[in-house]
Structure 1
Amino acid sequence: MSARPVIGVDFGTTNTVVSLLAPTGEADLVRFDGLGEGRAPFRSALAFHSEHDHGGGRRIEAGPWAIDAYLDDPGETRFIQSFKSYAASSLFSETTIFGRRYRFEDMLSAFLLQLRKHADAALAELPPRLIVGRPVRFVGANPDADLALSRYETAFRRLGFSEILYAYEPVAAAFFFAKRLTRDATVLVADFGGGTSDFSIIRFERSAGRLDSIPLAQSGVGLAGDAFDYRIIDQLVSPELGKGTSYRDYDNILPIPIRYYAAFARWDQLALLRASRDMRGIRGLVRTALEPDKLKKLVEVLDGEYGYPLYQSVSHLKEALSAEEAARFVFHAGEVSIEKDVRRSEFEGWIGKELAAIAGAVDEALAGANLTPDGVDHVFLTGGSSFVPAVRRMFEDRFGAEKLDSGAELESIAAGLSLIGAEADLTPWCRAAPVSTA
C-alpha cells in the first residue's frame, strides 16, 4: 500500500476517528474490523494489564479491546478513558501505572500505537502531513490550550509525522458540510463531543471553482454528552445507592458524604474509588446507615465492577429518549436491580443547566460574529449529543427547522480534516502548534 498524502485525526473524549485522503479526493475513513463489524469510531480508552504470570511487565490495549481487557480482569487492569480531558491541565503532570510513570503524551502515544496496530494495513504507511482536530475550548477549570497542543505534538511526532497542523473541530466539520453548498452561505457548525460543545460561524464563498472561507466567530463550553450521562446517574442510580440518605454517629444524624457519588461521572473512576481509603469508610457506614440496604448496593456496585454495564444502561436510556417521549431505565447486575420509567421532559429538566450553558455559548458565537440568527443561512449539527431532542430543539427555536442539517454525525470532523489537507492554501483552515516540543 502506498502512502496517502494526508491523514486527519479526530481525537475525541469518547471516540477517535481517522480519515485518509483517497486518490479520488474523497475522505476515506479508517475502519476497524477486529470485533467482527467494521466501524470507524475507535473508543478513546486505554487499558494497562499487569502480567504477573509472565514475569511481570504490562500489556497495553486501546479502543474496544481496552474495554474487553478490563472486563476480563478488572482487578489486574488499570483502565483509563476520556483521558483527553487531562490534555490542557497543568495540574496533571503524570500518573503511575504498575510502577511506571506516564505523562499525558505517553498515554496518547500508547493509544495511537494501538490504534494503528488495529487499523492493520490501512495505516501501515503514514503520510508526512497530519491534521489533528482540537476543541475551541479544552475541558477544565483553567485549560491551557498551548500546553495541550504541545503534548499532542510530542505524541504525534513519535509516530513519525513531519508536518503536524491543527484545525478547530467545528471548522473541520464545517469544511465537510461546505462541500455540499451550491451557493455562498454563512454557516454555524455545532459540534457536540463527549467532553466539549464547540461552535464556529464561517462565511463560505465560491470563486473560480475554489471554496473560500472567512471565519467569523468561535465559542465553546467544556461539557457535552458525558455531563448528560452523569445527570441520569445522579437522578436514577445514586439515590438507590444511598445518596441523600443519612447515618448515625453516636447521637448525631449525618448525611452520607456526597463525594462517594462524584466518581459516577465516569465509570472507570469507580475502580479508583474502590481502591481508595473511602472504600473502608463506605463499608463502615453500612453498619450505621439509616438505610443500610442502599449502602450495600453501593458496595456491590463497586466490588462487582459494575460500572461499564451501568453506563451501557444509561446510554440505552438516552438513545431511547431521543426516539420516544418515555422509556424505561433498566439496570440489573448481581443483586442490584434498578428499573424506572423516565419521561423525556424529566431528562430535559435534569440537563437544564447544561442546556443553558450550551445556549450561552451559541449566543457568544453570534455576538462575536455580530450576527442575529437571521444572518445564519445553515446550521450543521454534528456529534453524538446532536441526537438529543432538547439540543436540536434549541437550534430549531433560534434558527428555524428549515436551516438545520446533519449527517455523518460521528465522522464529519475526521473527514473534514483530511479534506482540508488537500487544499492548496491551508492558512484559513489550520495552523501549527504555538509550542513545539519535538
Structure 2
Amino acid sequence: MTQKFASACGIDFGTSNSTAGIVAASGAHLLALEEGKLTLPSAVFFNVEEDTMAFGRAALAEYLEGYEGRLMRSMKSLLGSSLMDAGTEIGGRHLSFKNLIGQLIGEVKRRAEQSASQQFDAVVLGRPVHFVDDDQAADDQAQATLEEIARGLGFKEVSFQFEPIAAAHDYEQRIEKEELVLIVDIGGGTSDFSLVRLSPERRGMADRSSDLLASGGVHIGGTDFDKRLSLSGVMPELGMGSLLSNNAEFPNSVFFQLATWHTINFAYTRKMWRTFQDISPEVVDKIRFERLLNVVRHQAGHHLAMRVEAAKIALSDQLMTELDLAEAEKGLVAQISRGTFENAIAQETRRVCNAALATLSQAGVAPEAVNTLFFTGGSSAVPALRHTLAAAFPSARTVEGDHFGSVGCGLAVVAQQRYG
C-alpha cells in the first residue's frame, strides 16, 4: 500500500547542504535526495566538455575528476548582495546567480517529489535570522528573491521560518518537560539564535508567538571559518604577505578570492592574469608565485577549498592535521594545528558569542536562566565555539541536534501546521 504524504514540505536551502522534509504518520523526517542520502550538497557543476549540469555529490565528483567546467558552491551567501545581479560566464554563456539558485532549489524539489512519490504545491523555506547584517532593505530583498524563485518552480503557497525556530520545533517533539532553550544554529553562512520556551503541552499549538522570546544572528558560519583557515594556513604558501622588489606587498585580492567559496571563480579571469603578468618582473619569491600560478592555471581553487574544509572538520577531533597542497606543488603539505585554526577564527568566535548574548538581552533574560543549549548546523561542532558558548551560559546543559537534519525536520512540522 502506497503511503500518502502531505502536499506541503519544508526545504532547508543551505549554504553548504540542502534538505527537504515532510511529516508522515511516523512523524517528521527528511527525504532522500541523492543515492539514499538525506542531504544534497549545495553545489552545481557545469560540465563544458559534455554540456551537462550536475548537482550535489555528483557535481563535486565531476569537478574532482578533472572535467573542464565551472563549479559553484555557497550561492546562498549571494542572496541580498550586489553580486546577485552580476552572474557568471560559463562556456561562453552568461548565467545569473538567481537562475543558478533556482536550478539548485528546483533540483531539491524534483528529487523530494521523486522520493515522496508525489508533487508538493506548498513549501516552508528556512531562512537565517539575518541574510544580511544591519541592512533591512537587503535582507527583505533576499527573502523576496527566494520567494520569487520558489513560486517560479511551481509552489503555489510559499512562506518562511527562521532556521533556529524550525530546529526548536524539531527538538520539542522529544522533550518531556518545559525548558527555556537557546537554539544555536551554526551553518555554512550564518550563526542564528532563538530563545524559546518549549514544552510537550505546547508542541501542537499553531500560535507560538508568546513562546518565542527573541531571535538574533550574525552573518558568520562555516565558510567564514574555512576562509580564515585558508588565509592563515594555505595562502601564505602561495605568496600571501610576500613583498615585491619595490617593497610593495603582493596584491591580496586573489588570495581572498581563492579563500572564499563563492568568489573562487573570480580568480580565473583574464583581468587577474593581466595582473600576474604586470607584477611578474617584480616578484621576489618565485617559488610561491609559481604555486599560485599553478592553482589559477588549473582552476584548482575548489580543490584547495575542499581540503581546507576537510582540515577544519578534522580539527574538531584532532589537535593536528595535514593539508595536501599538491595542486600548488607536488608533494607540498601544510601542517595545521587546532591552535592555528582557533587563532584564525578568534574574532569570528567572539562575534558569534556576542550575538548569542545579544539575543538574550532582547528578552531581558540572564544567561544563567537558560536551561538548554541546543546545537544544530554543520559548523556547531567547532570546539572553540562550543567552549566559548558553554562558558557564557554556565547553567545550561548541552543537547546535540541532528547537525544537518534538525532544521529540515522542523520546517516540515511548520509546513504541516500551516498547510495541513
TM-score by length of 2: 0.90
Structure-to-structure mapping, 1:276-287, within 5 angstroms: 276-287=270-281
> In the TM superposition, what is the alpha-carbon distance from 1:279 to its structure 2 partner?
1.6
Change (3 A) 1:170 1:267: closer
Q: Take 1:198 and 1:325, find their aligned partners in 2: how far apart are those partners?
A: 27
> In the TM superposition, what is the alpha-carbon distance from 1:172 to its structure 2 partner?
0.3
Higher strand proportion: 1
User: What residue is the counterpart of 1:64 in the other structure?
Assistant: 57
User: What residue is the counterpart of 2:389 in the other structure?
Assistant: 395
Secondary structure class of the residue paired with 2:309 = helix
Which has the higher mean CA deviation after the structures are superposed, 268-277 or 8-17? Answer: 268-277
Q: Take 1:321 and 1:209, find their aligned partners in 2: how far apart are those partners?
A: 37
AA aligned opposite 1:319? I
Structure-to-structure mapping, 1:11-50, within 5 angstroms: 11-24=13-26, 26-34=27-35, 38-50=36-48
Conserved 8 A contact 1:355-1:391 = yes
Change (3 A) 1:123 1:158: farther
User: What residue is the counterpart of 2:197 in the other structure?
Assistant: 203
- Identify the match of residue 371 of structure 1 among 358, 365, 376: 365
> In the TM superposition, what is the alpha-carbon distance from 1:182 to its structure 2 partner?
1.1
> In the TM superposition, what is the alpha-carbon distance from 1:104 to its structure 2 partner?
4.3
Query: Is 1:9 aligned with 2:1?
Result: no
User: What residue is the counterpart of 1:130 in the other structure?
Assistant: 123
AA aligned opposite 2:221? A
AA aligned opposite 1:385? S
User: What residue is the counterpart of 2:309 in the other structure?
Assistant: 315
Conserved 8 A contact 2:217-2:355 = yes
Structure-to-structure mapping, 1:392-431, within 5 angstroms: 392-400=386-394, 403-423=397-417
TM-score by length of 1: 0.86
Secondary structure class of the residue paired with 2:227 = helix
User: What residue is the counterpart of 1:306 in the other structure?
Assistant: 300
Change (3 A) 1:132 1:89: same
Deviations along 1:124-165, whole A, 9 cap, x unmatched?
A: 522332111000001467462221122111211123222211
AA aligned opposite 1:321? L
What percent of counterpart residues are identical? 28
Conserved 8 A contact 1:105-1:154 = no
Deviations along 1:286-307, whole A, 9 cap, x unmatched?
A: 4431111110000001112222
Structure-to-structure mapping, 1:176-325, within 5 angstroms: 176-207=170-201, 210=204, 213=208, 214-248=211-245, 252-267=246-261, 269-325=263-319
User: What residue is the counterpart of 1:362 in the other structure?
Assistant: 356
Secondary structure class of the residue paired with 2:25 = coil
Change (3 A) 1:352 1:288: same
Change (3 A) 1:100 1:330: closer
Deviations along 1:91-148, whole A, 9 cap, x unmatched?
A: 6325254465544442222112333445572155223321110000014674622211
Conserved 8 A contact 2:259-2:305 = no
Change (3 A) 1:265 1:342: closer
Structure-to-structure mapping, 1:42-191, within 5 angstroms: 42-50=40-48, 58-72=51-65, 75=68, 77-90=69-82, 92-98=84-90, 101-119=94-112, 121-139=114-132, 142=135, 144-191=138-185
AA aligned opposite 1:222? H
Secondary structure class of the residue paired with 2:52 = strand
AA aligned opposite 2:222? G
Secondary structure class of the residue paired with 1:322 = coil
Secondary structure class of the residue paired with 1:126 = coil
Change (3 A) 1:325 1:233: same
Instruction: Report how many aligned residue pairs link the two structures.
Output: 413
AA aligned opposite 2:17? N
> In the TM superposition, what is the alpha-carbon distance from 1:349 to its structure 2 partner?
1.2
Conserved 8 A contact 1:90-1:147 = no
Structure 2 unaligned segments of length 5 or more: list them.
none
Change (3 A) 1:192 1:177: same
Change (3 A) 1:349 1:411: same
Which has the higher mean CA deviation after the structures are superposed, 142-151 or 90-99? Answer: 90-99
AA aligned opposite 1:129? A
Q: Take 1:182 and 1:420, find their aligned partners in 2: how far apart are those partners?
A: 20
Secondary structure class of the residue paired with 1:421 = helix
Poorly superposed stretches of 4+, deviation over 6 Å: none
> In the TM superposition, what is the alpha-carbon distance from 1:74 to its structure 2 partner?
5.3
